Amino acid sequence: MYRNHPVNTMAMPPGIPFIIGNEWAERFSFYGMRSILLAYLTLYLSQPGGELDVFGNKEAEAWVHLFVGSAYLFPILGGLLADAFWGKYKTILILSLVYCLGHGFLACMEWIGDTRSMLLIGLVLIAIGSGGIKPCVSAHVGDQFCPSNQELLPKVFGWFYLSINLGAFLSGILTPFLLEARRVAGTAGEVIYPYFIWLVGQKEEGELIFGHHYAFGLPGVLMAFATFLFWMGRSQFAHIPAEGVVYFRQLTKKINLLALGKLWVVFSFVVLFWALFDQIGTLWQVQSREMIRILPDWIPFLGGYELLPAQVSAVFNPLFILILVPLFTRYFYPVLGCFTQLNALKKMGIGLWLMVLAFFTASMIQEFLDNGYLLHIGWQVLACFILTASEVMVSITCLEFAYTQAPKSMKSFVMALFLLTVSLGNYLTSGFKFLLLDDNGKSILTGAAEFWFWTILMAIGSTLYLLVPRYYKAH
CB atoms within 10 A of CB 258: 11
Which pLDDT score, from 0 to 100, does residue 186 have? 67
Which pLDDT score, from 0 to 100, does residue 250 have? 67
**Pick from 279, 214, 216: nearest CA to 37:** 216
Which pLDDT score, from 0 to 100, does residue 364 have? 98
What separation in angstroms does the CA of 66 have from each of 61, 230, 275, 374, 428?
Answer: 9, 29, 11, 32, 9
Which pLDDT score, from 0 to 100, does residue 475 have? 60
Which pLDDT score, from 0 to 100, does residue 70 have? 93
In three-state form (DSSP H/G/I as H, E/B as E, the rest C), the secondary structure along the chain is CCCCCCCCCCCCCCCHHHHHHHHHHHHHHHHHHHHHHHHHHHHHCECCCCCECCCCHHHHHHHHHHHHHHHCCCHHHHHHHHHHHHCHHHHHHHHHHHHHHHHHHHHHHHHHCCHHHHHHHHHHHHHHHHHHHHHHHHHHHHHCCCHHHHHHHHHHHHHHHHHHHHHHHHHHHHHHHHHHCECCCCCHHHHHHHHHHHHHCCCCCCCECCCHHHHHHHHHHHHHHHHHHHHHCCCCCCCCCCCCCHHHHHHHCHHHHHHHHHHHHHHHHHHHHHHHHHHHHCHHHHHHCCCECECCCCCCCCCCCECCHHHHHHHHHHHHHHHHHHHHHHHHHHHHHCCCCCCHHHHHHHHHHHHHHHHHHHHHHHHHHHCCCCCECHHHHHHHHHHHHHHHHHHHHHHHHHHHHCCHHHHHHHHHHHHHHHHHHHHHHHHHHHHCECCCCCECCCCHHHHHHHHHHHHHHHHHHCCHHHHCCCC
Amino acid at 359: F
The Cα–Cα gap between 95 and 395 comes to 24
The Cα–Cα gap between 228 and 250 comes to 33
Which pLDDT score, from 0 to 100, does residue 171 have? 93
Cβ atoms of 373 and 291 closer than 8 Å: no
List the pLDDT tens digit at each of the 475 positions of the chain: 777 777 777 788 888 889 889 999 999 999 999 999 999 999 999 988 888 889 999 999 999 999 999 999 988 888 788 878 888 889 999 999 999 999 999 998 888 778 899 999 999 999 999 988 887 887 788 788 887 877 787 778 778 877 888 898 899 999 999 998 887 876 778 878 888 888 888 888 888 889 899 999 999 999 999 999 999 988 888 888 877 777 676 667 777 777 778 888 889 999 999 999 999 999 999 999 999 998 888 877 667 788 899 999 888 998 898 899 889 888 888 888 888 788 888 999 999 999 999 999 999 999 999 999 999 999 999 999 999 999 999 988 887 788 777 776 676 677 778 888 999 999 999 999 999 888 877 888 888 999 999 999 999 999 999 998 887 776 6
Which pLDDT score, from 0 to 100, does residue 465 have? 94
462 CB-near residues (< 8 Å, 6+ apart): 269, 349, 352, 353, 355, 356
The Cα–Cα gap between 285 and 279 comes to 8
pTM to 2 decimal places: 0.89
Four-residue CA torsion sign, 15, 17, 23, 25: negative
Buried b (16+ CB within 10 A) or exposed e, 455-465: bebbbebbeeb
Burial class (CB in 10 A: 0-12, 13-18, 19+), 338: exposed
160 CB-near residues (< 8 Å, 6+ apart): 19, 20, 23, 138, 141
**Pick from 321, 357, 353, 350: nearest CA to 336:** 350
Which pLDDT score, from 0 to 100, does residue 471 have? 78
